[in-house]
Amino acid sequence: MGNLVRLPVLKELVCPSTPELACKLSGANLFLVDSVSNDPGFAHPVPVPNGFLGSALPVPHPTAGPLYVKLRDNPSVINSTTLAMQQLPVSPGELEHAGTRQPALSTPALSTPAVSTPAPAEKAPMPQRSNEADPATQQHNPDP
């Protein structure tokens, strides 16, 4: 007896020219996809949220070959996609920031941000209220 597996319809894969940035995978019934990876070993899979109803997903940039998907109906099987990647042209802003671009993921051992703890602020003493100036606190003594 065979397994009945529902299949999503993968329509288009559009990627920026910079490999560190995510691509956009569009299609129908993407809720049937469990996860997507750019390597067959699924070292860094991108999970698809349960109940996803959208028509496009951010997916990793393919490195050497196709994208790979696992389906919700049978996540133990790894499937390769046959979509041709459409590469977006390099934008002028992308060229400007090419030298200052940082990777999306960083290794904690390589980059530990310095955290400075501000010194506690001294509290100024609260001014004391004088009962003499407040008519509500003064006792009223009528002259006999």
Max CA separation in the chain (angstroms)? 111
Q: Which pLDDT belongs to residue 96?
A: 63
Q: What are the C-alpha distances in Å from 52 to residues 41, 49, 125?
A: 24, 5, 56
| Mean pLDDT rounded to a whole number for the chain | 76
Sign (positive or negative) of CA dihedral 63, 67, 68, 69? positive
Q: Which pLDDT belongs to residue 118?
A: 46
* Long-range Cβ contacts of 94-97 (<8 Å, 24+ apart): 94/16, 94/17, 94/18
pLDDT at 26 > cutoff 50: yes
Q: How far apart (Å, rounded) are the C-alpha atoms in residues 53 and 76?
A: 23
pLDDT at 112 > cutoff 90: no
* Long-range Cβ contacts of 96-99 (<8 Å, 24+ apart): 98/18
Question: Most confidently modeled of 19-23, 32-36, 122-126?
Answer: 32-36
Domain boundaries, given as residue ranges, for the chain: 9-86
Of 116, 107, 8, 126, the C-alpha closest to 67 is 8
**Is-contact 81 10, C-beta < 8 A?**
yes
Q: Which pLDDT belongs to residue 99?
A: 55
Q: Lowest-pLDDT range, 1-5, 88-92, 118-122?
A: 118-122
